[in-house]
Amino acid sequence: MRDLAPLLIGEDPERVELIEEKMDKVLLGNRAAKLALEMAILDLIGKRRKTPLWKMLGGYREKVETDFTIGIKKPEEMARDAVEMVSRGFRILKLKVGLNPEEDIARVKAVRDAVGNSIRIRVDANQGWSVKTAVKVLNELQRYDVELAEQPVKWNDLEGMAEVRAMSPIPIMADESVHTPEDALKVAMMRAADYINIKLTKAGGLLKAKRIAEISEAAGMPNMIGCMMEGGISITAAVHFACGTRNVVTSDLDSDISLKQDVVSEGAAKLEDGYRIPPNEPGIGDIKLRDEMLKHIATYKEKAEKEEF
């Protein structure tokens, strides 16, 4: 932030693409910091225009359905968690897999048996399988009506991803393989995936995420908008993005739900019956923060300023 913030002083916030370019020239990577600054700029523009961000980004839909991610555990524990989340209104579940092939199959079977056939199930191997294992497991999982398989092999093995895609009865989604618009283009050209998972923190901003979505749409690959372990502010920005972007057909925006306490006290994106709904106030919204948590942030900031680098 100390490198990036001075760039914004005196800049016209409406020239957000120019600001984005300047930040990229000054500092390599640091995508989360760049996203935070870009969110603040877009929030300011929206408040000036008296327009919510989701309408500024395209205004395609008013809400987006999200899955809930079930962490990798014993099959019976995942089944129990799945039943609980279905009882809370979620109709899509993403199951973490990728450790042991036989256990992965057992995990999916246990969840399917527990929630029935009306619930949509997708899996995320987090790069955990080899090509051979991925093909074998995905063919086994077909019987449990799995709709998507996310990042089955290593992020940089696009040839392997393409091989899995060609032999899998389940559509493949790229996640860790795509950080930039250039990555999206490469995945599209190699036919390495059917879907691309966009994450704002991974992309480094909503503008870059939009470019990934546009490349994906041109290539005929729908997008999911996902998240890291994020709080209400960036999740709200992602909900705005999903609702403003035509090619985003589903979402994985659930991390704020799992937090014991969020820095946001009110005004963030709502969750109703498994759908995320963006604020309709100008910009990102009228978000209120918890003062007691801001004190911890201030303490960290003061400590960081005192440290010598």
Catalytic site residue 50? no
Q: What does pTM read for this prediction?
A: 0.92
The C-alpha atoms of residue 118 and residue 160 are separated, in whole angstroms, by: 32
Print burial letters for 187-219: b (CB count within 10 Å at least 16), e (below 16): bbeeebbbbbbbbbbbbbbbbbbbbbbbbbeeb
Average pLDDT in the chain: 94
Q: Helix (H, G, I), strand (E, B), or coil: what is residue 165?
A: helix
Task: Output the pLDDT for position 80.
Answer: 99
The C-alpha atoms of residue 75 and residue 107 are separated, in whole angstroms, by: 4
Task: Output the pLDDT for position 297.
Answer: 66
Q: Band of the pLDDT at 6, cuts 50, 70, 90?
A: confident
- What's the pLDDT tens digit per position in 177-195? 999 999 999 999 999 999 9
Please count the other Cβ atoms lying within 10 Å of the Cβ belonging to residue 48: 12
Catalytic site residue 96? yes
- What's the pLDDT tens digit per position in 136-193? 999 999 999 999 999 999 999 999 999 999 999 999 999 999 999 999 999 999 999 9
For each of the domains in the chain, give its residue range(s) and CATH number, in order of start: 56-288 (3.20.20.120)
Residue-by-residue DSSP string for 51-101: -BHHHHTT---S-EEB-EEEPS--HHHHHHHHHHHHHTT--EEEEE--S-H
The C-alpha atoms of residue 92 and residue 254 are separated, in whole angstroms, by: 11
**For the chain, what is the radius of gyration of the CA atoms?**
20
- What's the pLDDT tens digit per position in 194-245? 999 999 999 999 999 999 999 999 999 999 999 998 899 999 999 999 999 9
- What's the pLDDT tens digit per position in 64-87? 999 999 999 999 999 999 999 999
Task: Output the pLDDT for position 8.
Answer: 83
pLDDT above 50 (res 33): yes
Q: Which of 96, 202, 208, 210 is catalytic?
A: 96
Q: Helix (H, G, I), strand (E, B), or coil: what is residue 195?
A: strand
The C-alpha atoms of residue 94 and residue 110 are separated, in whole angstroms, by: 14
The C-alpha atoms of residue 97 and residue 219 are separated, in whole angstroms, by: 28
pLDDT above 50 (res 52): yes
The C-alpha atoms of residue 155 and residue 119 are separated, in whole angstroms, by: 29
Closest CA to 279 of 265, 268, 288, 290: 268
Q: Can you say whether residue 135 is alpha, beta or left, with left for phi > 0 and alpha for psi between -120 and 50 degrees?
A: alpha
Cα 228–Cα 81–Cα 265 angle in degrees, nearest 5: 50
Q: Which of 55, 63, 94, 199 is catalytic?
A: 199
- What's the pLDDT tens digit per position in 95-126? 999 999 999 999 999 999 999 999 999 999 99
- What's the pLDDT tens digit per position in 272-306? 999 999 999 999 999 998 888 777 765 445 454 55
